[in-house]
Structure 1
């Protein structure tokens, strides 16, 4: 990735790292599906109102909106509901570790479904090292809960798989000529249309007590920052860096959450945090590959005048 793409990925991890904080506050007064509807609904309102200011218009083609509905299902409806429900059953740290399997799924899905994001040794080793780094950083004590609430843990794993498939599916919007901001608006709008009937039937939100100001502040934070702004960055990165690189944000989210807790809440960093961050850094360096090429540059092979020229990607 370029320096700009890496900076956007870091910013995205900070925005999504803050979503765990906002979700924890909002779940004290709102049921999961209602919270998700408010999250995507407010984000849809903000993004659709912002499109004219950016000189953009919502797409009108049926095929584009069909893709928006599929993307909303894969990237919002399924993972949001599963993760939020899972967080009501298991510790948020364990949920973060399970969510960090997204790059593992992404490497496999991209290898199977794309021609330009094939699995390599560097990528596979990098995601494995990065996953171990997340587990070390969050703490081995959390892993003690792996034997309980299996359904909740499976729910978070299915959410991670859904994120990985969404990353590959979402590559088509660039080929359709849809701008990242318009794609983000279309996705959260489609997600709102899919989830609103579910919230009405399941949660009956009109019967709930009116939440207090802290809860509304958390809802605005998760809608404006962790959804509207975050998905504009998401689709910009996806359009240029690909699904596998985009999925690496799940390695950075725990780092962002821990650093936010240190800087804002004055929490203390333990040695395992530094070790986990170092492992994540090593994993990202292995996936990027440039550091390895710098340390061990390729040696030119012996030239043979009579040997046929082999172009990159040509079958031998």
Structure 2
């Protein structure tokens, strides 16, 4: 028989264990997303970036439809709800397409660091506090460090930077449209949205010609879809209910640094000192913004499962 004094101590273990496990799931999801990005870039030797984006979106859509089966809940949402999910998915498809095109030209760590400016912009649209604009100024400073100034070693391709900025704009739209799409439930919204994303990625992929698909390429594309979409989706959905959104945003802010490290290990993408400094500045701006915002806003910092 446990004494009343001992009962809180007995329950302390599980109470502490759940947040730690949830944090580990978010971290693992970040590693999975970025490792999938590195594998996707490895496919560029056989396929165009647009074709890789089409394959990944198509396979991810099939996996999510099989997992979620949104048609079983069709009575719970209207045509208007489906329309918002479709718009959300189009933004998702544009983000995938531009990020893969950016990966072809610049390191994945740099592309992910630039892309993180999208959520920062959304936060600034929902707040007017001076300290949030200070984080914006810090993020702009990080972008300035990445600009291909004349004579700088390890200069990034300007077209790649522009494409990553386009992906950041799509991420901002993804977040704003996601608020409406989430009315049908997060699993349904992501599944329907991924199908809509294919309306962007598949035509772009076919425009580059019919790819020569063999078993190894299809297997690697399926692996990319699982690592970059299905697996992190499941992990983050489970973890979100256990952690404050500030903590989720803080952990997600480390994504660019994780991408840079994985890019170096898997792809041999060595960055220069100014590029590492720029990534550190952008990560700091994102983390500060996540910690400083109110819960309804910080929830927007959730990583897109794409």
Q: How many residues align?
A: 269
- Residues 1:46 and 2:63 are matched in the alignment: yes
Tell me the distance in 2 between the aligned counterparts of 1:67 and 1:241.
Answer: 26
Is it true that 1:79 corresponds to 2:95 in the alignment?
Answer: yes
- Determine the structure 2 residue equivalent to 1:297: none
- Going from structure 1 to structure 2, the CA distance change for 1:276 and 1:186 (only over 3 Å counts) comes to closer
- Using the TM superposition, give the Cα deviation of residue 119 of structure 1 relative to its aligned residue in structure 2, in angstroms: 3.8
Q: Is the 8 A contact 1:99 1:160 kept in 2?
A: yes
Instruction: Confirm or deny: 8 A CA contact 1:69 1:190 kept in the other structure.
Output: yes
Where does residue 35 of structure 1 map in the other structure?
A: 52
Deviates more, 1:183-192 or 1:279-288: 279-288
Partner residue in 2 for 1:203: 208
Aligned to 2:133: 124
Match of 1:167 in 2: 175
Cα RMSD between the aligned structures?
Answer: 4.5
1:246 and 1:162, CA in 2 relative to 1: closer, same or farther beyond 3 A? Answer: farther
Q: Judging changes above 3 Å, is the alpha-carbon distance between structure 1 residues 99 and 230 closer, same or farther for their aligned structure 2 residues?
A: same
Q: Is the aligned partner of 1:284 residue 2:287?
A: yes
Is the partner of 2:155 in helix, strand or coil? helix
- Matched residue SS, 1:27: helix
The alpha carbon displacement at 1:14 in A equals 2.2
Structure number with greater Rg is 1
TM-score of the pair, normalised by structure 1: 0.65
Match of 1:181 in 2: 187
Alpha-carbon distance, 1:86 to partner: 2.5
Conserved? CA contact 1:72–1:190, under 8 Å: yes
Is residue 59 of structure 1 aligned with residue 74 of structure 2?
yes
Q: Distance in 1 between matches of 2:154 and 2:264?
A: 23
Note closer, same or farther for the CA distance 1:154–1:285 as it changes in structure 2 (3 Å cut): closer
On the 8 A contact 2:54/2:202 being kept in 1, the answer is yes
Q: Contact (CA 8 Å) 1:94, 1:143: kept in 2 or not?
A: no
Match of 1:300 in 2: none
- Seen in structure 2, the aligned counterparts of structure 1 residues 203 and 128 have a Cα distance that, compared at 3 Å, is same
Q: 1:253 aligns with which of 252, 255, 274?
A: 255
Task: Tell whether 2:33 aligns with 1:16.
Answer: yes
Note the C-alpha offset of 1:191.
1.5
Asked if structure 2 preserves the Cα contact closer than 8 Å seen for 1:103 and 1:248, the reply is: no
Evaluate the alpha carbon distance shift between residue 39 and residue 85 of structure 1 in structure 2; reply closer, same or farther with a 3 A threshold.
Answer: same
Contact kept, 8 Å, 2:119 with 2:175, in 1: the verdict is no
Higher helix proportion: 2
Confirm or deny: 8 A CA contact 1:129 1:283 kept in the other structure. Answer: no
Do the aligned partners of 1:102 and 1:161 also contact (CA within 8 Å) in 2?
A: yes
Which residue of 70, 77, 82 corresponds with 2:87?
Answer: 70
For normalisation by structure 2, the TM-score amounts to 0.67
Which one of the candidate residues 155, 179, 189 is aligned to 1:144?
A: 155
